[in-house]
Amino acid sequence: MLSVLTALALATLSPVAADAPAESAFCAPMLISVNARGGSPVLDAALIDSLGPEQLLRGLERLPREDLREFVATGDDVLEDLIANQPAPGDVRSWWAGLDFGERLKFETVAPELVGNLDGVPYDVRDSANRRLLEGTLAGLRSRLSAGIGKGAGFEAVSQLRMLEQVESSLDQTADGPTRRLLVLDTAMPGRAAVSLGELDSADYVSFLVPGALLSVREHMSEWTKVTADIYDSQTSWQTLLGEHSTVATVSWIGYQTPDVTNVFGLDLAEQGADFMSGTVNGLRALREGNEPYVSVFAHSYGATAVTLALQRGEMAVDALAMIGSPGGDAQSADDLGIPADRVWVGEAAWDPVVDTAFFGTDPGSADFGAHPMGVNGAVDPVTGQVLTASVGHDWYLEPGTESLRNLSLIGIDRGELVTDGSVSDVQKTLALSLADPPRGG
């Protein structure tokens, strides 16, 4: 008897009449599993591998609820691959828009791990699906641990529980804070997650915070989201001070497996990060087509290497980039990134052992690279008079009250003219200068 996936593959690849609309090649066939409830399905890897991601996604649409449930329960590797190599966000957006209410509900309830991680699906839907997955997985882990399991399995379950509790904590809503949505969730160790603050559907400025090595969902998701909230608060305060009425959103993004000491010297995980970051940014642009926000990326350490890979290859486009503590990358100059040179910034702290190493390629802090230097060594804010503290070492760029965090906030709202760089011209970067040079974004 045919397995669920064999039937799915055969139906999806069924011939289509020559005069049929092109889209019907993926969605017209009725997908009927021969043994949907009559036994354990056997994955037919050869047939599944022959399907493109859009074919598979549109094929899954035709499966009845119970067949889809069986697919999700038995096809972990296929789902993981579909999420890692998903259709273009614009195609996902069109696919989702074409589903009726019942079909959408089927996917949200039966396959939340898929819906919650597809770039191009509306953010409120992804948030709902990911929260459902988070709550269900947490409940299952706590139940297993309370019932008692073996030592090895118990260690794994505790590690996974700790990771997901970090995600849960990052969603805690403050009384007067912005809306938080869970945009990405991979519950398998080492995990991936992203939390947005503010309204991504309408914000004029969107800033992504991308981490580097040794910063994991399990240990740091809550802390990373707190930093992202600090940037959100800083940006909204600057908007008020500058008399602007634009809105902001920030994203705490640990959307790839960051390296540890065993694999930090290779580029495999940077490649993964480039792919996932491209999907995230392109998904935002697809959902906001015709009303795109000003998009900034703040990338720390190895994260800067991943982001510049995506930009250099033209896999995504952003309006501004700030790299802090970067070990370098393949891009030879700021011109290779597809961003105007006056919107590329580099911050390098004293006693940071990573900067100037050019370990993964060209040092973005070199004069030849062509990026703007961003002050991180402490200063007096020329606009507010606040004393800004210095960043020292590799991990102090994002502390509240630092010159670094202040400058990142301004970069994200297109106020580069106010960013300090440690030169004598900093004293001229006052509110009067800002009024004379209004922002280009928004």
- At residue 366, φ and ψ (nearest 5 deg) are -75, 155
287, 288, 294, 296 alpha-carbon torsion, rounded to 10°: 0
130, 136, 142, 143 alpha-carbon torsion, rounded to 10°: -170
How far apart are the C-alpha atoms of 228 and 232, rounded to whole Å?
Answer: 6
Model pLDDT, residue 260: 94
Question: Could you tell me the pTM of the whole model?
Answer: 0.91
Model pLDDT, residue 38: 52
Residue type, 368: D
CB–CB of 224/211 below 8 Å? yes
Cβ–Cβ contacts within 10 Å for residue 247, how many?
A: 18
The superfamily (CATH) of domain 174-436 is Alpha/Beta hydrolase fold, catalytic domain (3.40.50.1820)
Q: Which residues of the chain have pLDDT under 70?
A: 1-48, 436-442
Model pLDDT, residue 431: 86
Q: What share of the chain is helix, strand, coil (3-state, %, to 5)?
A: 45, 15, 40
How far apart are the C-alpha atoms of 195 and 178, rounded to whole Å?
Answer: 12
Sorted by where each begins, the domain ranges of the chain are: 4-85, 174-436
Model pLDDT, residue 25: 36
**Which residues pair with residue 116 across a beta bridge?**
none
Model pLDDT, residue 288: 98
Q: What is the pLDDT of residues 218-267, one digit of tens each?
A: 999 999 999 999 999 999 999 999 999 999 999 999 999 999 999 999 99
Model pLDDT, residue 150: 80
Model pLDDT, residue 21: 41
Q: What is the pLDDT of residues 269-306, one digit of tens each?
A: 999 999 999 999 999 999 999 999 999 999 999 999 99
In degrees, rounded to 5, the angle at the alpha carbon of residue 234 between the alpha carbons of residues 228 and 239 is 130
